[in-house]
Structure 1
Amino acid sequence: MFLALGIGGYFLLPIEPPGLVVILGLCVAFAAVVLSQPGIRLAFIALMIFMSGLGLAQWRNDRVAAPQIIDGSHSFSVEGTVEAVEPQDNGHVRILLDALKIKTLALEDTPQRVRITVRTDSHDVTAGDRVSLRAILSPPPDPVAPYAFDFARDSWFKRIGGVGFAVTDLAILERPTTRSLTNRVNGLRQYIAHRTTMRLDNRAGGIAAALLTGLRGYMAEDDVEAMRIAGLAHLLAISGLHLGLVASTAFFLIRLGAAAIPAIALRFDTRKAAAIMAWLVAFAYFWLAGATIPTQRAFLMISIVLLALLIGRQPISLRVVALSALLILVATPEALLSVSFQMSFAAVTALVAAYEVLAPKLAPWRRRAGFGKRTALYFLGVVLTTLIAEAAIAPFSAYHFNQLTSYGLIANLVAVPLMAFVVMPLGLLALLLMPFGGDGPVLDLMALPFPGL
């Protein structure tokens, strides 16, 4: 908590504090911890952690510093390497370029990355291609209102120094013979999303592509807004539900397969082997989904849960949540300001806290229950989970989106079981069959519930 307070305090400062002041404050706090009496030592430890958060945020801010386009819109001849491609529902393509060469800009004034919307047909461009075009570029825009989403700050930490649109066709100068791992993953995401949207109609294909790859650019804006109003936006953010389904499905299928072979089941601890294999599957899906903040949080928690299974410890606890948050904030302090971080950790913290209280009380009922009562307990669990999560994220939804979901409970009662038992399993099966060309019929089945969602 105090680490987060320190990070938040840095971003609230009206001016950049001198680095020496932060280091000095941290040293004073550390000395106070060492020299103080036990009664007040905790207060100085809290101060030291607070100053550490302040220092982490400042260090990260300095580390990502990169040139930006000067104020105003200007026309530039741009050459760069495609880092990511995201087609839009209106037919345009948004590309992220790095390794830039911009005529009229000196090397020291050239941004590290720019994001450009290409309005012409550029769907054949893939991550890793070297391209050139002429574009109107401007600095990333400031918030449209006080306390609104700060795109300029978000772009700063992504080292995006300019945004704009192309005014000429995009020319592919070179296709690399070998691509980096990041470019290969981005290219694979683009291929899966394109193949999915080609098989399904625009609306269903956009939703399926978002669920399988995390690329939401294929979705129509009214579909995104409708799901947000219905309280189903969390289904589009690949996070705990999706990664949990992937990992748990892999875990139980591997254990089931091992149990069918007595020579393996009787000689080896199949649970540990299944945990390791499930982690590898979750890791692959983590990269395929784009490694966003919700995905990072979910993957860290799943990793810690599987590690706990390996060493025989309690897998789900508030300590796991706290450790996941700590690792994310240390690596990327700016994540504290993102709505996805705030809402995902608010929901998970509330759910785990409730689980720790309710699980021991519900366990005896579950052991004695028959099929009918177990089914009733499942739906009760869905209701309680939805109520707890909705209550936890409501303040953040009101603050960031100026709205509260009016029928999120009913929508989630229908959508979550469909997602857990129909949509995601079929989506995973489609991914497995895609290299062999057998994904089409499975994608058709996967899309059947989308009108209801």
Structure 2
Amino acid sequence: MIEDILLAQRGALVGWVPVCLAIGIGTYFALPSEPGFLLSAYLVLAALGCAVLARVIRIAYAPIVLGLLLVLAGIGLAKYRTNDVAAPVLNFRYYGPIEGRVVNIDRSASDAVRLTLDQVVLSRMSPERRPARVRVSVHGDQVIETFKPGEVLVMTGHLSPPSGPAEPGGFDFQRHAWFLQLGAVGYTRTPVLRMAAPERPTWAMRIFAARMALSTAVQEAMPGRTGAFAAAIMTGDRSAMDQQTLQNLRAANLAHLLAISGLHMGLLTGFVFAVIRYGLALFPPVALRFPTKKLAAICALIVGAFYLALSGGNVATERAFIMVAVMFVAVLLDRRALTLRAVAIAAIIVLVWQPEALTGPGFQMSFAATTALVAVFAALRRFDLHRLPKWTRPVVSVALSSFIAGLATAPIAAAHFNQVAHYGLVANLLSVPLMGVLVMPAAVLAICLAPLGLWQIGLWLMEWGLRWILFVAANVAGQPGALGHVVAPNATVLPILALGLLWIILWQGRTRLLGLAPVCCAFVLWSLTERPILLVADNGALLGVAGPQGRALSKPSGSGFVAGIWLENDGGPVAQEVAASRPGLVREGRKVSVSLNGWDIVQTSGKTALAALSGCDGADILITNQTDDVPRPCMVFDVLRLRQTGALALDVLSNGDLQITTAHSIAGARPWNSAQGPVSPPIIISHVQKERAADATLLSQNNTDQ
């Protein structure tokens, strides 16, 4: 019986290859410590054992062993990639001169110009200790057009190591920065000086310069928000996008139109493929003698590669190009282009090339949408849709595609961004068709007419389409209840949900319905998610305690980025000053105190407040954003200790004990956070220890009085 079920899977096993690789990659990133030589040797021996076993056991069971081999291969790929991108990371706070070559220009969340520099030179630092890249936000009156790709700049600024998660188990920017070879981040408030213009630019620098020049030209020809939108979808340069426009697009679930991803690459290459194929069909001698379909596929591939280079070659665009490249190669090989096999091959290429992409929402959402669309439309082939009126078929296709893609990506978007766009389907139905039939073709027309000086024709058509999309985004986002918020799920929810849905799609036979069990389990786990009672920022400057009205924050301003993440993960984002006005914390000047079921925590800000403290002021835990060398009768988390532990989460257990979970204990001891030292398990303080400590303190006071 089992053998029959396993044998029935033959012919559909290629879809499980990226799944097994992803399980291995996910396992690697979830490990509490970096695999050493001994563990790596065991993994190699296990892989060899699986390879031998697969050749001697029954053929029905061989795929299971090969699946285990692929899981081990996924761990190995992630380990190799981690070592391959290794670069120095700053391990202290630096202030002084910063010199480097401009390799990227964008804007930060605070709308400041942000420069990414390589060939970094820092004062009194040897070359082997310098970060490979740094990212500096430029504050002041300097405009983005001041900076040119490839030029060498010098400034005086602050740099610090990439920060860890804002809370235990949260997004790990340290890991993200590691794979970008970003060794430090910071800011400058001084004028940025140009040391040297680009000399003998590489091809990468030339493409970067061309990209920024095109972005500037588009914005000059099409000023305002539409020009910024046009520059973003043509070149990937979002530096001119204002925050309000971005918020409207996100609230209407149209932010995917801004990122150069599968939709843009598919629309562009599909348009080029259709124009060339049907254009050649107009000439019978050519159409009868040459394979016009394959010629069109080759031209579309070339255009896609050019678009990839021009848009900056970010991860999402590279992934999109791989997917369309697999599709057009299938056309060249006379295979069906849109199949689960093609999606699987694209996923394999991405995971082998960049294993870290698995952890990002871009990879998850793009492959979730593509897999769902291919699977559903393959199932719909059984139904005869020709009975529908001809004019309704495109409408039904667009509506169905938007619904399926939105449904497939909604849990992933909610898990990563803690929000659900309730009117996203309506907004996509009103915008996506126009993107395909007007905006992207007009962009191609503008580029084709540019050498003749007539690109304004294409930009004019493009502007009308983009104005409509921005109009839809603003009106949908302005509707009451347009945006809902959800609690951030446990780290196990998305993997369980993904495995359940993939089982339903990839498994053959009636037993595919077993995939409903993990899907239901994932949503139950999500609904049971409990947020920490008290959160502490890794600089000791901010507290957040959960209460009946939501999380109360210790101050109305400062540490705004961390405060925003906490409130979003709670599923209730509000302004920081609103959260600071909630009850739950007792504020006395620069001292804040809170009581958690009998456990007292005190937090101080500044040297004066810390110096004025007598002992621990009766608290069990003292938190401060200063260095504290004074012996105290309580557990102290000063700024030095917090740099080692990262952010804290405090919870009272059912038996009354206090559990302190550190961000470092969840992230583990990995190369990207090696400066934080070894990992210690969560700290549990029992109420018995608390009583003994109180008795010891009382005895000490009595002895002093005598």
Same fold (TM over 0.5): yes
- 1:426 and 2:442 are equivalent in the alignment: yes
Moved more, 417-426 or 88-97: 88-97
Amino acid at match of 2:26: G
Deviation, structure 1 residue 91: 7.1
CA contact (8 A) 1:351 1:385 kept: yes
Amino acid at match of 1:79: E
Aligned ranges for residues 148-159 of structure 1 at < 5 Å? 148-159=170-181
3-state secondary structure, aligned to 1:398 = helix
Q: Could you tell me how far apart the structure 2 residues matched to 1:215 and 1:382 are? A: 28
Amino acid at match of 1:187: A
Q: Could you tell me how far apart the structure 1 residues matched to 2:357 and 2:344 are? A: 15
Residues 1:186 and 1:89: Cα distance change in structure 2 (over 3 Å): farther
Deviation, structure 1 residue 10: 0.8
| Deviations, residues 332-370 of structure 1 (Å, cap 9, x unaligned) | 1100011111111111110111111113424xx34x76x
CA contact (8 A) 2:160 2:184 kept: yes
| Deviations, residues 382-407 of structure 1 (Å, cap 9, x unaligned) | 12111111111111112111111101
Q: TM-score, normalised by structure 1?
A: 0.92
CA contact (8 A) 2:50 2:68 kept: no
- 1:49 and 2:65 are equivalent in the alignment: no
Residues 1:273 and 1:62: Cα distance change in structure 2 (over 3 Å): same
Residues 1:307 and 1:156: Cα distance change in structure 2 (over 3 Å): same
Aligned ranges for residues 19-418 of structure 1 at < 5 Å? 19-35=37-53, 36-38=56-58, 40-72=61-93, 74-86=94-106, 92-119=112-139, 120-121=142-143, 123-362=145-384, 365-366=385-386, 373-418=389-434
Residues 1:437 and 1:164: Cα distance change in structure 2 (over 3 Å): farther
CA contact (8 A) 2:427 2:472 kept: no
3-state secondary structure, aligned to 1:325 = helix
CA contact (8 A) 1:88 1:219 kept: no
Cα root mean square deviation, aligned: 2.1
CA contact (8 A) 2:108 2:137 kept: no
Q: Could you tell me how far apart the structure 2 residues matched to 1:435 and 1:222 are? A: 35
Amino acid at match of 2:85: V
Residues 1:246 and 1:203: Cα distance change in structure 2 (over 3 Å): same
CA contact (8 A) 2:370 2:405 kept: yes
Q: Could you tell me how far apart the structure 1 residues matched to 2:217 and 2:104 are? A: 17
CA contact (8 A) 1:135 1:165 kept: yes
Q: Could you tell me how far apart the structure 1 residues matched to 2:288 and 2:298 are? A: 19
Deviation, structure 1 residue 202: 2.9
Deviation, structure 1 residue 106: 1.1
| Deviations, residues 110-151 of structure 1 (Å, cap 9, x unaligned) | 000011122324523222212222221111122223443322
Q: Could you tell me how far apart the structure 2 residues matched to 1:206 and 1:143 are? A: 32
Amino acid at match of 2:421: T
Q: TM-score, normalised by structure 2?
A: 0.60
3-state secondary structure, aligned to 2:185 = strand
- 1:17 and 2:38 are equivalent in the alignment: no
Give the unaligned 5+ runs of structure 2: 1-18, 474-706
CA contact (8 A) 1:89 1:217 kept: no
3-state secondary structure, aligned to 1:117 = strand
Deviation, structure 1 residue 87: 5.2
Aligned residues: 446
Moved more, 128-137 or 174-183: 174-183
| Deviations, residues 255-285 of structure 1 (Å, cap 9, x unaligned) | 2332333442232222221211111011111
Residues 1:147 and 1:205: Cα distance change in structure 2 (over 3 Å): farther
Q: Could you tell me how far apart the structure 1 residues matched to 2:362 and 2:246 are? A: 15
Deviation, structure 1 residue 61: 0.8
| Deviations, residues 224-281 of structure 1 (Å, cap 9, x unaligned) | 1211121112111212221112112222222233233344223222222121111101
Moved more, 236-245 or 39-48: 39-48
Q: Could you tell me how far apart the structure 1 residues matched to 2:324 and 2:203 are? A: 23
CA contact (8 A) 1:232 1:411 kept: yes
3-state secondary structure, aligned to 1:299 = helix
CA contact (8 A) 2:215 2:231 kept: yes
Q: Could you tell me how far apart the structure 2 residues matched to 1:406 and 1:108 are? A: 51
Residues 1:130 and 1:414: Cα distance change in structure 2 (over 3 Å): same
Residues 1:19 and 1:435: Cα distance change in structure 2 (over 3 Å): farther
3-state secondary structure, aligned to 1:451 = helix
CA contact (8 A) 1:127 1:183 kept: yes
Deviation, structure 1 residue 89: 9.4
Give the unaligned 5+ runs of structure 1: none
The structure in which a higher percent of residues are helix is 1
CA contact (8 A) 1:80 1:130 kept: yes
CA contact (8 A) 1:116 1:165 kept: yes
Moved more, 316-325 or 119-128: 119-128
Amino acid at match of 1:54: I
Q: Could you tell me how far apart the structure 2 residues matched to 1:451 and 1:302 are? A: 30
Partner of 2:590: none
CA contact (8 A) 1:71 1:139 kept: yes
| Deviations, residues 175-205 of structure 1 (Å, cap 9, x unaligned) | 2343111112211221122222223333222
Deviation, structure 1 residue 436: 4.2
CA contact (8 A) 2:116 2:134 kept: yes
Q: Could you tell me how far apart the structure 2 residues matched to 1:356 and 1:53 are? A: 29
Deviation, structure 1 residue 320: 0.7
Deviation, structure 1 residue 214: 1.7
Q: Could you tell me how far apart the structure 1 residues matched to 2:110 and 2:214 are? A: 19
Q: Could you tell me how far apart the structure 2 residues matched to 1:434 and 1:214 are? A: 19
Q: Could you tell me how far apart the structure 1 residues matched to 2:252 and 2:336 are? A: 35
3-state secondary structure, aligned to 1:452 = helix
Partner of 1:440: 456
Q: Could you tell me how far apart the structure 2 residues matched to 1:440 and 1:92 are? A: 30
Report sequence identity in percent. Answer: 38
Deviation, structure 1 residue 416: 0.8
- 1:2 and 2:23 are equivalent in the alignment: no
Q: Could you tell me how far apart the structure 1 residues matched to 2:406 and 2:433 are? A: 17
Q: Could you tell me how far apart the structure 1 residues matched to 2:313 and 2:132 are? A: 20
Residues 1:116 and 1:412: Cα distance change in structure 2 (over 3 Å): same
Q: Could you tell me how far apart the structure 2 residues matched to 1:441 and 1:87 are? A: 30
Deviation, structure 1 residue 66: 0.9
CA contact (8 A) 2:161 2:184 kept: yes
CA contact (8 A) 1:426 1:445 kept: yes
Residues 1:82 and 1:135: Cα distance change in structure 2 (over 3 Å): same
